[in-house]
Every structure is written in structure tokens, then in C-alpha cells.
């Protein structure tokens, strides 16, 4: 079962953090069709968050067709975001690890690595849009 | 039926020569968990005392669940209020206190009260409870009548972080059970930012900022970039704060569109930093009431 965590400093609304964590788990295949999400009361008891926020996150996921609420039973994963490409993840991850080793050898620290990755991603996406 | 849990129109309260609250207009949405934030003496307690009919307005009006709390005090049966410091009879036992509350309220939910007080021994004298247990007892009494509106004045004062977190869990569980609207007054934003979906920020007796938390977070960004003369920035409605350090310029801005200039590094802003910025008198923006964005500005 998925466990949520919260970063209040992130500037991302709590309900969005929950939505994003479910989607990420779906993308990575850590939860799959038929799996149950924790109930609203369980998340409230666990994280001390507002139940309306959890309900809103689940409603959003339901609207996107990713989960389905079954009356009195809970919320279940209805479809997956794990792309057909999930089988390529291992190979891509290995490539990324080699790249990270090269970056470390070149003297980049964690922050420089993050900065380089996010700026490259940003620029590549911008080129594609243009 | 669907009157707002709390609605103030031009509400003001003067104490001798000083205004404790002035020109306060706001509507708390049904089912919201509201953070009533602001520095000490900003008017938070005054607003809650007006909402519970403990004070009479000097000007304007306040309506609670559609009723005037002063003229129609029966509405207070639907309101759970915990005043600052959770005042209780110190010589009563926990069981006495609960019994007293049960008899003075028309509606009473023993199960809900029991859930909040699982770890508190009924025979303990209130005076010898820990701060955390005292806060629980006050919360249990406020929730016991299954209120539609819960008003808490600085409930975290005197609680250590663990007790504070437990208090929030119990409160949120009570909200899940009763669907009550909650207003939590606190000068420590970190204590409430986990749970609030709506913010009312008071400064100097006036409403400085009010709105849905998600909309507030979505409409503000931090921009960082090389120092430059400040003109119009595309996508920025107004600059809330500007800071210079060396050649670096950091702005907290209210946005109204995408920031396209690639020389800015753009970051989101957490609720605490956002509210502290609006609290600080160093540089107050003069935003105009926006037409499409559902935020309300005052002051």
C-alpha cells in the first residue's frame, strides 16, 4: 500500500502532493490496477492533514479515471500510468547511473547535477515546442 | 440552510480608543479548515469573540451559520469554541468536566468524546493534566456537541511539537467525522499549514490577505535572477517583495500568466514564507482587486 509524505515548504498544495505521489507510484509501477489506496481516515490519522484535502485528491484521481471509489469499501486503482515503456526503465536507469558516475568523476556535486539535469530538460522541451 | 459558517461585513470592534478589529469583511466557506493567521494583537481573538457573541460589534455585522450570535444565541449550540489557554475548572475531574458538558448541551456524542480522550484517565483532576491532555479535553468538549463550526483560539500554545501534532490528528479526525467547518487562530503558521485549505491573514486589526490556500500558492512565485532595473515583467501582476544581495535579485511576485523571460529562475513559495511576507511591513504592495482571480485583497 502507498504511504504518503508531505513537504509543507514545497509550495505545492497538499492535495496536489497526494495526487502527484499516486501518479508517480503508478508511473513507476509500485502500485497497480486493483490495489487499494489508504482510506481518507487512515491518511488523516497518519499525516494529520485535512480530510477534505485527501477527498479532493482522490476525487481528482477519479475524474482522471485513475482510481475508482467503491461505496463503503474504499478507493482502488483503476488504471495504470506505467507506460509500455516501463520495461525500458532498467536499461535507462543503468545508463543514468553511468552518467551520474561520469558527472561525479568530473567533480559535479549533487546540486550541480540537479541544476544541469533540470536546465537540460527545460531547454530540450522548449526546443521541441518551438 | 446553506448560510456561510461565518460571514462578516464591515465588522469592527473598538476598545476605548483602539480598534481591535476594523473594516473586516470576509466569508468562510462551508467545510473549510481555515487558518486565522497574524501576529499577536492582530485581531484574531477579537474576531473569534465577536463570532461567539462574547463581544458586541462597534460597527458592521457578523453572522454565524446565518444567525447573529448576540441576538440569536441559540445558534451557539452549533458552535464549538475553545478559548485561548483552554479555560476549564481546575478542581473538576475529567469525568466531571465531561458530565457538565453533556448536561449543558442538547446534543452530545459520547463515542466521539471517548475517541478524543482514549488516553486520559477520567478520575484525573483537570488541574493536574499535562498541557497536551488539557488541550485534548477542551477539544473533546468542543467536538462533543457535534458542532457545525469549531473555533479554536491558539490551541497550540504551550504544546510541545508531538502533542501539537496529536492534537491536529484528533481535530482532523473529528472533522472527518462531523464535516464541521473549522477556524484555527494561530500566530505560528507552521502549526496550521498542514491542515488549512483557506487562510485569513489579519494585521493591525484588518484583513490583509484572504483566500483559498491552493489559489494563493498557485498565484505566487519566487523569481531569482541577476540584478536589473525593475520594469514590467510579463506574467507578473505585482511585486510583493524585492530583495537584493550582491548581484542577485530575488522577487516574490503575484503572477497573472506564465513568466516567459528565461533569465529568471522560478520557484514556488511555501505558505509560511508567503504569509510572513504579507505580514511584514517592510514593503507592502498595492494590489488592485483582480477581476478574474478569486483572491480578495484588503488594506
Query: What value does the mean pLDDT of chain B take?
Result: 89
Mark whether B153 and B113 lie in a shared domain. yes
- Residue B219 reports pLDDT greater than 80: yes
Q: Quick check: B213 and B271 in contact, CB under 8 A? A: yes
> Does some domain include residue B238?
yes
Let me know if residue A2 belongs to a domain: no
Question: Would residue B18 count as lying in a domain?
Answer: yes
Contact yes or no for B272 and A50 at CB 8 A: no
Give the residue from B172, B193, B222, B274 with the most A CB atoms within 10 Å of its CB, the best one to mutate: B172
The beta strands (E) that lie in chain B are given as 6-15, 18-28, 33-37, 59-64, 79-82, 149-153, 181-186, 198-203, 206-212, 220-226, 236-245, 248-255, 265-267, 296-297
Confidence of residue B260 (pLDDT cuts 50, 70, 90): confident
Supply the pLDDT for residue B141: 93
Range of B173's domain? 6-213
Nearest chain B alpha carbon to A53:
B197
Is the CB of residue B212 less than 8 Å from the CB of residue B197? yes
Whether A91 and A122 share a structural domain:
yes
Q: Residue B295: pLDDT above 70? A: no
A40 chain-B contacts, CB cut-off 8 A: 176
Q: Give residue-wise pLDDT tens across range B161-208.
A: 999 999 999 999 999 999 999 999 998 888 899 899 999 999 988 999
- Kindly determine whether residue A51 and residue B172, on different chains, have CB atoms separated by under 8 Å: yes
CA torsion sign for A38, A44, A47, A49 is: positive
Q: Taking CB atoms and an 8 Å limit, are B268 and A10 in contact across chains?
A: yes
* Same domain assignment for residues B166 and B223: no
Could you tell me which residues come within 8 angstroms of residue B57 by beta carbon, excluding any fewer than 6 positions away?
B11, B12, B13, B50
One domain for residues A21 and A50: yes
Percent of chain B predicted with pLDDT > 90: 70
Please write the tens of the pLDDT for every residue from A20-56.
Answer: 999 999 988 889 899 999 999 999 988 999 999 999 9
Which chain B residues have a beta carbon less than 8 Å from that of A15?
A: 214
Instruction: Decide if A11 and B267 are in contact by the 8 Å CB cutoff.
Output: yes
Is the residue at B270 inside a domain? yes
Q: Which of B28, B18, B22, B11 is nearest to B185 (CA)?
A: B28
Whether the per-residue pLDDT at B293 is higher than 50: the answer is no
The model's pLDDT over A75-95, given as tens digits with 9 standing for 90+, comes to 999 988 877 777 888 899 999
Domain contains B229: yes
Assign residue A59 the CATH number of its domain. 1.10.10.10
- Answer yes or no: is pLDDT of B1 > 70: no
Q: Are residues A48 and A90 in the same domain?
A: no
Same domain for B141 and B79:
yes
Chain B residues whose C-beta sits inside 8 Å of any chain A C-beta: 31-33, 165, 168-169, 172-173, 175-176, 190, 193-197, 213-214, 217-218, 267-273
Mark which of B177, B197, B213 sits at the end of a domain: B213
Please state the three-class secondary structure of A76-95 as a single string.
EECCCCCCHHHHHHHHHHHH
pLDDT of residue B291: 46
pLDDT band, residue A68 (cuts 50/70/90): very high
From A23, A32, A27, select the one nearest A1 (Cα to Cα): A32
Confidence of residue B27 (pLDDT cuts 50, 70, 90): very high
Domain identity same for A13 and A62: yes
Q: What is the pLDDT of residue B281?
A: 60
Asked if the model's pLDDT at residue B246 lies above 70, the reply is yes
Q: Are residues A54 and A102 in the same domain?
A: no
CATH number of B58's domain: 3.40.50.300
Q: Among B173, B197, B273, whose Cβ lies nearest the Cβ of A44?
A: B173
**B177 and B224 co-located in one domain:** no
- Show which of B165, B190, B213 is a domain's final residue: B213
Residue A130 has pLDDT above 80, yes or no: no
Examine the predicted complex and report whether its ipTM is higher than 0.85: no
The confidence score (pLDDT) of residue B282 equals 57
State whether B25 and B132 are in the same domain.
yes
Residue of B190, B194, B217 with shortest CB distance to A11:
B217
Closest-CA distance of chain B to residue A87, Å: 33
Give the HSE-up count for residue B7: Cα atoms under 13 Å, Cβ half-sphere.
11
Residues A94-110: pLDDT tens digits? 999 999 999 999 999 99
| B176 and B285 co-located in one domain | no
Residue B183, burial from CB neighbour count under 10 angstroms (0-12, 13-18, 19+): buried
Share of chain B above pLDDT 70, in %: 93
B195–A50 CB contact, under 8 Å:
yes
Residues A13 and A72 in one domain: yes
Inside any domain, residue B299: no
Whether B298 maps to a domain, the answer reads: no
Tell me: pLDDT of B71 over 60.
yes
Query: 19-58 in A: which are within 8 Å (CB) of B?
Result: 40-41, 44-45, 47-53
In terms of domains, do B140 and B261 share one? no
- Nearest CB partner across the interface for A41, out of B176, B190, B197: B176
Q: What's the number of domains chain B is made of?
A: 2
B297 occurs within a structural domain: no
Interface contacts A/B by beta carbons within 8 Å? 64
Candidates A4, A6, A8, A11: best to mutate against B (most CBs of B within 10 A) is A11
Give the residue numbers spanning the domain of A109.
Answer: 84-129
pLDDT higher than 80, residue B148:
yes
Task: Give the mean pLDDT of A5-26.
Answer: 91
A6, B194: Cβ pair inside 8 Å? Answer: yes
Q: What is the pLDDT of residue B299?
A: 39
Chain B residues in contact with A14 by the CB 8 A cut-off are 194, 197
pLDDT at B20 over 70: yes
A14 touches chain B (CB under 8 A): yes
Alpha-carbon A89 to chain mean position: 15
Q: How many domains does the structure of chain A reveal?
A: 2
Calpha distance B196→B40 (Å, rounded)? 19
B169 chain-A contacts, CB cut-off 8 A: 44-45, 48
Give the closest-approach CA distance of B198 to chain A in angstroms: 11
Regarding predicted confidence, which is higher, B231 or B150? B150
- Both A25 and A65 in one domain: the answer is yes
Nearest-Cα distance to chain B for A59, in Å, is: 16
Find the mean pLDDT for residues B41-69.
95
Looking at the structure, tell me whether residues B150 and B30 fall in a common domain.
Answer: yes
Q: Would you give the DSSP letter of residue B67?
A: B
**Alpha-carbon span B21 to B56, nearest angstrom:** 12
In DSSP notation, B274-299 reads HHHHHH--SS---PPPPSSS--EE--
A11 touches B at CB < 8 Å: yes
Using CB atoms, pick whichever of B165, B197, B272 lies closest to residue A48.
Answer: B165
From the list A14, A16, A44, the residue facing B176 with the nearest CB is A44
Q: How many residues does chain B have?
A: 299
∠ CA B97-B102-B105 to the nearest 5 degrees? 120
Last residue within a domain, chosen from B213, B247, B276: B213
Q: A12 vs B217: CB contact, 8 Å cut-off?
A: yes
Amino acid at each position: 500500500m502507498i504511504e504518503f509524505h508531505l513537504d509543507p515548504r514545497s509550495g505545492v498544495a497538499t492535495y496536489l502532493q497526494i495526487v502527484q505521489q499516486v501518479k508517480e507510484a503508478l508511473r513507476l509501477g509500485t502500485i497497480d490496477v486493483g490495489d487499494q489506496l489508504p482510506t481518507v481516515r487512515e491518511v488523516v490519522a497518519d499525516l494529520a492533514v485535512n480530510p477534505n484535502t485527501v477527498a479532493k485528491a482522490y476525487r481528482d484521481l477519479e475524474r482522471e479515471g485513475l482510481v475508482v471509489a467503491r461505496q463503503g469499501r474504499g478507493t482502488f486503482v483503476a488504471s495504470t500510468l506505467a507506460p509500455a515503456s516501463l520495461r525500458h526503465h532498467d536499461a535507462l536507469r543503468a545508463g543514468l547511473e553511468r552518467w551520474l558516475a561520469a558527472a561525479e568523476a568530473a567533480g559535479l556535486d549533487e546540486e550541480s547535477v540537479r541544476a544541469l539535469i533540470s536546465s537540460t530538460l527545460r531547454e530540450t522541451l522548449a526546443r521541441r515546442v518551438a | 440552510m446553506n448560510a456561510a459558517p461565518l460571514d462578516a461585513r464591515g465588522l469592527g470592534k473598538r476598545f476605548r480608543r483602539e480598534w481591535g478589529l476594523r473594516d473586516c469583511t470576509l466569508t468562510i466557506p462551508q467545510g473549510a479548515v481555515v487558518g486565522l493567521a497574524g501576529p499577536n494583537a492582530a485581531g484574531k481573538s477579537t474576531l473569534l469573540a465577536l463570532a461567539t457573541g462574547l463581544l458586541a460589534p462597534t460597527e458592521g455585522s457578523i453572522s454565524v451559520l446565518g444567525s447573529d450570535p448576540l441576538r440569536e444565541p441559540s445558534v451557539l449550540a452549533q458552535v464549538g469554541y475553545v478559548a485561548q489557554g483552554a479555560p476549564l475548572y481546575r478542581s473538576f475531574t475529567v469525568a466531571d468536566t465531561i458530565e457538565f458538558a453533556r448536561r449543558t448541551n442538547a446534543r452530545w456524542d459520547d463515542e466521539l468524546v471517548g475517541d478524543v480522550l482514549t488516553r486520559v484517565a477520567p478520575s484525573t483532576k483537570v488541574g493536574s493534566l499535562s498541557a497536551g491532555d488539557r488541550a485534548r479535553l477542551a477539544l473533546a468538549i468542543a467536538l462533543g456537541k457535534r458542532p457545525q463550526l469549531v473555533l479554536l483560539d491558539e490551541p497550540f500554545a504551550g504544546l510541545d511539537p508531538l502533542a501539537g501534532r496529536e492534537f491536529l490528528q484528533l481535530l482532523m479526525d473529528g472533522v472527518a467525522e462531523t464535516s464541521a467547518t473549522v477556524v484555527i487562530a494561530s500566530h505560528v503558521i507552521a502549526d496550521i499549514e498542514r491542515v488549512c485549505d483557506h487562510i485569513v491573514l489579519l494585521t493591525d486589526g484588518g484583513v490583509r490577505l484572504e483566500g483559498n490556500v491552493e489559489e494563493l500558492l498557485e498565484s505566487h512565485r519566487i523569481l531569482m535572477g541577476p540584478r536589473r532595473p525593475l520594469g514590467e515583467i510579463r506574467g507578473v501582476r505585482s511585486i510583493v517583495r524585492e530583495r537584493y544581495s550582491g548581484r542577485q535579485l530575488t522577487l516574490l511576485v503575484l503572477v497573472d500568466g506564465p513568466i516567459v523571460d528565461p533569465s529568471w529562475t522560478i520557484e514556488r513559495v511555501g505558505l509560511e514564507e508567503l504569509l510572513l511576507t504579507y505580514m511584514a511591513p517592510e514593503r507592502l504592495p498595492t494590489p488592485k482587486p483582480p477581476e478574474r482571480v478569486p483572491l480578495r485583497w484588503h488594506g
